[in-house]
A and B are shown apart, each in its own frame.
Chain A
Amino acid sequence: MSLLEGLQILVIGLGTVFLVLISLSGAVALESRIFSFLNKSKKENPAAEISTTPEKSTVVNASVGELKLIDVDERTAAMIMAIVSDESQIPLSELNFKYIKAIN
């Protein structure tokens, strides 16, 4: 193997290490955000917490994790979800919110 080929492997190898670890860093950051969001909505919306059993709240968190918020803060979103669940008499564990968007 020539030095030039070795140099190519240096670039490709180190580049791949960075690529894998940057992806990992992104995944970990995303994981942290999801958990921090779930914790925040738990703290900010005690009503939702009270109205659900601990088992249900876990599932609620899972569905909240996939939710997109457009011009809506997390507190409002949590309240909306709790209200929809209460009004429709459908447990939050069976509701799947895709996004909540503010309409002006």
Chain B
Amino acid sequence: MTYSLTDTLIRVWEMSGFANATWQQLVMILVSFVLIYLAVVKEFEPLLLLPIAFGMLLANFPMTGLLEGPLGDQPGGLLYYIYQGVELGIYPPLIFLGIGAMTDFGPLIARPSSLFLGAAAQFGIYIAFLLALAFGFAPEAAAAIGIIGGADGPTAIWLTTKLYQDLLPAIAIAAYSYMALIPMIQPPLMRLLTTQKEREVKMEQLREVSKAEKIVFPIVVATLCIFLLPSVAPLIGMLMLGNLLKESGVTDRLSNTAQNELMNIVTIFLGVSVGAKAVGENFLQLETLKVIALGLIAFAFSTVGGLLLGKLMYWLSGGKINPLIGSAGVSAVPMAARVSQVEGQKANPSNFLLMHAMGPNVAGVIGSAVAAGIFFALFG
């Protein structure tokens, strides 16, 4: 057998990615570079955006077979197996376990009416759902798009995986990007919908919440929510388990693992898996742009919903509740609460709304999980 240098070089070229790349793959590789830039330089949700961007990069290299399933005796590609955690709905509830272990529900327990704000701030989910239907999306796709308004990445990923996987990368990227952009999206709406007098309101200090109350809380929430809406069990169940591990005080090791090692490992797998679904042929479509536009509308209307109920509560309470805490009812913990704090302090420098806004903020996590459970019950 003889080898010619020219033939070998031609064969190597023919088998290389350079010769086999499609224009869509090249565009997606460029998009992944932009996302890596946003994650590293602009620090837009880098913990998730960076793995997503790199997963996108890997998935769009031609000829790698990373996403292919097993064929006969041949095992599948690496990303195919990692993606099973998304496909089977395992990663998002595990992220919720970590979130639960990191969340202090004290402000919500101290003021249970925060839950109303967490419910009102799901308004954008349903407005975006309606608009998506008007744009011609199937009801399952419209529900998955709407959930972007919950401002909760794992919930959006969980529901999209269950209802309409083709939109997963667009929805995940839109959800995380808008969460990172909350400090830019929310303040103009907050100033537009509230008066200076309302923004200046100083709220009474929250009462102290006992340890026993904090221990009982996750049990009560899990029991009540799952009895009322069994489809929320994976998300609420894991969220409350994580919280119980934290609050019980007897499982510090488990709580630490849930909020650190486990959370970090799952975040890497989840990010890479979601990014890997952003293959050029599926992603570079007009639908992606529609999803991104609808996601922004969903975020905006969720903020509006929270603020309007906040105004109502301001009025009903005789001016004791600052309506700015309503916008924190979109999940995005703790970013949305910080925005309420910043805007409140701009109106009145002696104002400290952070702890007051944390109540609606964590209520929003429960609210968006409930909204996702309702969509799953309807279309799953």
Is there a chain B Cβ closer than 8 Å to A73's Cβ? no
Is there a chain A Cβ closer than 8 Å to B126's Cβ? yes
Report which of B115, B130, B229, B366 forms a contact with A3, defined as CB distance below 8 A: B130
* A9-B126, A28-B220, A32-B109 given; A21·B366 CB < 8 A: yes
Cα(A27)–Cα(B195), bound, Å = 33
Q: Which of A1-48 contact B (CB under 8 A)?
A: 1, 3, 6-7, 9-10, 13-14, 16-29, 31-32, 35, 39
Report which of B114, B126, B213 forms a contact with A31, defined as CB distance below 8 A: B213
Q: Nearest CB to that of A23 among chain B residues?
A: B224
Among the interface residues A7, A10, A14, A28, which one has the most CB atoms of the partner chain B within 10 A? A28
- A94: shortest Cβ distance to chain B, in Å? 22
Residues of A within 8 Å of B114, CB to CB, are 25
Cα(A54)–Cα(B292), bound, Å = 58
Q: Nearest CB to that of A2 among chain B residues?
A: B133
- A8: shortest Cβ distance to chain B, in Å? 10
- A55: shortest Cβ distance to chain B, in Å? 15
* A13-B371, A20-B229 given; A6·B130 CB < 8 A: yes
Is there a chain A Cβ closer than 8 Å to B370's Cβ? yes
* A20-B229, A23-B228, A31-B220 given; A10·B130 CB < 8 A: yes
- B301: shortest Cβ distance to chain A, in Å? 11
* A14-B122, A23-B228 given; A3·B133 CB < 8 A: yes
- A24: shortest Cβ distance to chain B, in Å? 6
Is there a chain A Cβ closer than 8 Å to B263's Cβ? no
Cα(A1)–Cα(B371), bound, Å = 19
Interface string of B210-225 (1 = CB under 8 A from A): 1011001100110011
Residues of A within 8 Å of B122, CB to CB, are 14, 17
Interface string of B101-121 (1 = CB under 8 A from A): 000000011101111101110
Whether A24 and B213, one on each chain, are in contact in the complex, defined by CB atoms closer than 8 angstroms, is no
Whether B370 and A1, one on each chain, are in contact in the complex, defined by CB atoms closer than 8 angstroms, is no
Is there a chain A Cβ closer than 8 Å to B316's Cβ? no
Cα(A19)–Cα(B224), bound, Å = 12
Residues of B within 8 Å of A1, CB to CB, are 133, 138-139, 142
Residues of B within 8 Å of A17, CB to CB, are 119, 122, 367, 370-371, 374
Whether B129 and A22, one on each chain, are in contact in the complex, defined by CB atoms closer than 8 angstroms, is no
Residues of B within 8 Å of A22, CB to CB, are 115-116, 119
* A16-B229, A31-B217, A32-B112 given; A9·B378 CB < 8 A: yes
Cα(A3)–Cα(B130), bound, Å = 7
- A87: shortest Cβ distance to chain B, in Å? 30
- B71: shortest Cβ distance to chain A, in Å? 38
- B129: shortest Cβ distance to chain A, in Å? 7
Is there a chain A Cβ closer than 8 Å to B134's Cβ? yes
Is there a chain A Cβ closer than 8 Å to B375's Cβ? yes
Cα(A28)–Cα(B222), bound, Å = 12
- A36: shortest Cβ distance to chain B, in Å? 9
Cα(A19)–Cα(B216), bound, Å = 21
Is there a chain A Cβ closer than 8 Å to B123's Cβ? yes
Whether B378 and A29, one on each chain, are in contact in the complex, defined by CB atoms closer than 8 angstroms, is no
Report which of B115, B210, B212 forms a contact with A28, defined as CB distance below 8 A: B115
Interface string of B338-376 (1 = CB under 8 A from A): 000000000000000000000000010011001100110
A-B contact pairs, 27 of them (CB 8 A): A1-B139, A1-B142, A9-B126, A10-B130, A13-B374, A14-B122, A14-B123, A14-B126, A17-B119, A17-B374, A18-B120, A19-B228, A20-B229, A20-B370, A21-B115, A21-B116, A21-B118, A21-B366, A21-B370, A22-B119, A24-B224, A24-B225, A27-B221, A31-B220, A35-B210, A35-B212, A39-B210
Residues of chain B at the chain A interface (Cβ within 8 Å): 108-110, 112-116, 118-120, 122-123, 125-127, 129-130, 133-134, 138-139, 142, 209-210, 212-213, 216-217, 220-221, 224-225, 228-229, 363, 366-367, 370-371, 374-375, 378
Residues of chain A at the chain B interface (Cβ within 8 Å): 1, 3, 6-7, 9-10, 13-14, 16-29, 31-32, 35, 39
